Structure 1
Amino acid sequence: MKVFVFDLDACNGCHNCQVACKDEHCATNWLPYAEEQPDTGQFWCKVDEEVCGRVPHVRVNYLPHLCNHCDNAPCIAAAPEAVYKREDGIVIIDPRAAHDPEALVASCPYGAIFWNKELGIAQKCTGCAHLLDDGWAEPRCVDSCCTGALRFGSEEDFAEEIARAEVLIPEAGTAPRVYYLNKPKRFIAATIVDIEADEVVEDAMVTLQRIIDDEVVAEVRTDELGDVWLENLEPDRYRMRVSKEGYLDLHQEFDLSEKDRSVPEMRFYRVPAAV
Structure 2
Amino acid sequence: MRRADPEMVRRNCEQQSAKTEMRMKVFVFDLDKCNGCHNCQVACKDEHCDTSWLPYAAEQPDTGQFWCKVDEEVCGKVPHVRVHYLPHLCNHCDNAPCIAAAPDAVSKREDGIVLIDPKSAHNSEALVASCPYGAIFWNEELGIAQKCTGCAHLLDDGWKEPRCVDACCTGALRFGEEEEFESAIAQAEVLMPEAGTAPRVYYLNKPKRFIAMTVVDIEADEVVEGADIVLQRISDEEVVARSMTDEFGDVWLEGLEPDRYRMWIRKGGYLDLSAEFDLSEKDCSVPEMRFYRVPTAV
- TM class by smaller structure: over 0.9
1:70-81 → structure 2 map (5 Å cutoff): 70-81=93-104
CA contact (8 A) 1:166 1:183 kept: yes
> What TM-score, normalized by structure 1, do the two folds share?
0.99
1:92-171 → structure 2 map (5 Å cutoff): 92-171=115-194
Q: Which amino acid aligns with 1:163?
A: A
Q: Secondary structure at the match of 1:109?
A: coil
Q: Secondary structure at the match of 1:156?
A: helix
Superposed CA deviations along residues 23-49 of structure 1, whole A, max 9, x for unmatched, are 000010100010000010000000000
Looking at structure 2, the residues matched to 198 and 147 of structure 1 have their Cα atoms a distance apart, in angstroms, of: 43
- 1:194 to 1:11, Cα distance in 2 relative to 1, 3 A: same
Looking at structure 1, the residues matched to 155 and 121 of structure 2 have their Cα atoms a distance apart, in angstroms, of: 25
CA contact (8 A) 1:79 1:99 kept: no
Looking at structure 1, the residues matched to 211 and 192 of structure 2 have their Cα atoms a distance apart, in angstroms, of: 24
Q: Secondary structure at the match of 1:238?
A: strand
Task: Find 2:38's aligned residue among 1, 6, 15.
Answer: 15
User: 2:219 matched to which residue of 1?
Assistant: 196
- 1:270 to 1:103, Cα distance in 2 relative to 1, 3 A: same
Shift of 1:100: 3.7
Q: Secondary structure at the match of 2:164?
A: helix
Superposed CA deviations along residues 2-33 of structure 1, whole A, max 9, x for unmatched, are 00000000000000000000000001010001
Unaligned runs of 5+ in 2: 1-23
Q: Which amino acid aligns with 1:167?
A: V
Shift of 1:99: 4.5
Looking at structure 1, the residues matched to 168 and 96 of structure 2 have their Cα atoms a distance apart, in angstroms, of: 27
Q: Which amino acid aligns with 2:276?
A: E
User: 1:55 matched to which residue of 2?
Assistant: 78
- 1:154 to 1:44, Cα distance in 2 relative to 1, 3 A: same
Q: Is the counterpart of residue 45 in structure 1 residue 54 in structure 2?
A: no
Task: Find 2:254's aligned residue among 223, 231, 256.
Answer: 231
Looking at structure 2, the residues matched to 223 and 251 of structure 1 have their Cα atoms a distance apart, in angstroms, of: 19
Identity %: 84
Q: Secondary structure at the match of 1:53?
A: strand
Looking at structure 1, the residues matched to 56 and 119 of structure 2 have their Cα atoms a distance apart, in angstroms, of: 9
Looking at structure 2, the residues matched to 98 and 227 of structure 1 have their Cα atoms a distance apart, in angstroms, of: 55
Q: Which amino acid aligns with 2:174?
A: R
Looking at structure 1, the residues matched to 205 and 183 of structure 2 have their Cα atoms a distance apart, in angstroms, of: 14
Looking at structure 2, the residues matched to 101 and 271 of structure 1 have their Cα atoms a distance apart, in angstroms, of: 70
Task: Find 1:87's aligned residue among 96, 101, 110.
Answer: 110
Unaligned runs of 5+ in 1: none
Q: Secondary structure at the match of 1:9?
A: helix
User: 1:206 matched to which residue of 2?
Assistant: 229
How many pairs does the alignment contain? 275
- 1:98 to 1:238, Cα distance in 2 relative to 1, 3 A: closer
Looking at structure 2, the residues matched to 188 and 100 of structure 1 have their Cα atoms a distance apart, in angstroms, of: 49
